[in-house]
Structure 1
Amino acid sequence: MSRWISNSAEETERLGERVASKLSGTEVIALFGGLGMGKTAFTRGLARGMGADDIVSSPTFALVNEYRGRVPVYHFDMYRVASWDDLYSTGFFDYLENGVLVIEWSENIEGALPENALRITISRGESDNQRIFDIEGVTLEDIGG
């Protein structure tokens, strides 16, 4: 596991860009962490790093947003997913292997995540703006940190 500390939304976006530079195009990135932890800021940087120039926003009501870059990035919000039926209704399984999946609120679908998913747990640091990213599946050396 690697740990990355961000002191601003801009640093969080840069982390997303760095992670994107190491992706081949079929990864699942599982984000864990509460409200306001920077999941969407991370995804904004990742999408930009994948070559997408779309406006990245939380898919809270849409359930999934798609961003077009060198490969598609599918941004899921699983906050309201409480059952397998709910998960199937999102179309989640149809997206696997067809692009990069970034999943907010992955704790709600832990049992459906692929074993090789990159897992990122985000928590609050010492200040209001600081975030701690515990990353499983890629090292700081892999992302140039």
Structure 2
Amino acid sequence: MEVLLESAESQQAFGARLARAVRAPSVLYLEGDLGAGKTTLTRGLLHGLGHLGPVRSPTYTLIEPYRLTGLSLYHLDLYRLGDPEELDYLGLRDLLGQDALWVVEWPGRGLGFLPKPDLLIQIRYEGQGRLLTVTARTAAGEAALGRLRNLPD
């Protein structure tokens, strides 16, 4: 699925739409250049799930947990990760059994230590906007993508 988004606001709106399509447990990988809007998309997703507070990029903390009604979301930003083995120090293995959503920015830096993604979302610059390519990687991802396609814009 490809979606062209013209602004940060439309990117957040798509994140809110995505919130209505994904189900826990799910893992979403977000790939894109610096400034492409990975955290902006995550902000929309969290607001769509009912989070009312700020959404910060976990660039320095690597992981930011959000407790929502009946759900946890773990936002990871692995840009500053020196070695994938550092993920063990974050206690990620303890989080794997939880009924949670994971949103992982820069997932390539954690290969071998991260769970397989249900959805891969690639964000590319397209003029002044962003082109999002959403690809399912599991059966749960296929189901989420099917729901996403059937939701109104």
Contact 1:17-1:49 at 8 Å conserved across structures: yes
Contact 1:33-1:121 at 8 Å conserved across structures: yes
Consecutive unaligned residues in structure 1, runs of 5 or more: none
74-83 vs 36-45, which moves further: 74-83
Does residue 1:94 correspond to 2:94, yes or no? Answer: yes
| Mapped partners of 2:125, 2:54: distance in 1 | 25
Question: SS of the residue aligned with 2:59?
Answer: coil
Consecutive unaligned residues in structure 2, runs of 5 or more: 137-144
85-94 vs 54-63, which moves further: 85-94
In the other structure, the counterpart of 1:58 is: 57
| Mapped partners of 2:78, 2:150: distance in 1 | 28
Question: SS of the residue aligned with 1:108?
Answer: helix
In the other structure, the counterpart of 2:34 is: 35
In the other structure, the counterpart of 1:5 is: 4
In the other structure, the counterpart of 1:79 is: 79
| Mapped partners of 1:124, 1:7: distance in 2 | 10
Amino acid corresponding to residue 107 of structure 2 in structure 1: S
Shift of 1:95: 2.1
Contact 1:54-1:68 at 8 Å conserved across structures: no
Residues 37-88 of structure 1 deviation map (CA, whole Å, 9 limit, x = unaligned): 0001100010111111121010011111122223111111111224232121
In the other structure, the counterpart of 2:106 is: 105
Identity of aligned residues (%): 33
| Mapped partners of 1:93, 1:55: distance in 2 | 27
RMSD between aligned residues: 1.8
Q: 1:67 to 1:117 in 2, by over 3 A?
A: same
Amino acid corresponding to residue 11 of structure 1 in structure 2: S
Contact 1:31-1:119 at 8 Å conserved across structures: yes
Shift of 1:21: 0.6
Contact 1:13-1:45 at 8 Å conserved across structures: yes
Shift of 1:91: 2.2
11-20 vs 107-116, which moves further: 107-116
Shift of 1:116: 4.6
Question: SS of the residue aligned with 2:149?
Answer: coil
Q: Which has the higher helix share?
A: 2
With the length of structure 2 as denominator, give the TM-score of the two structures. Answer: 0.83
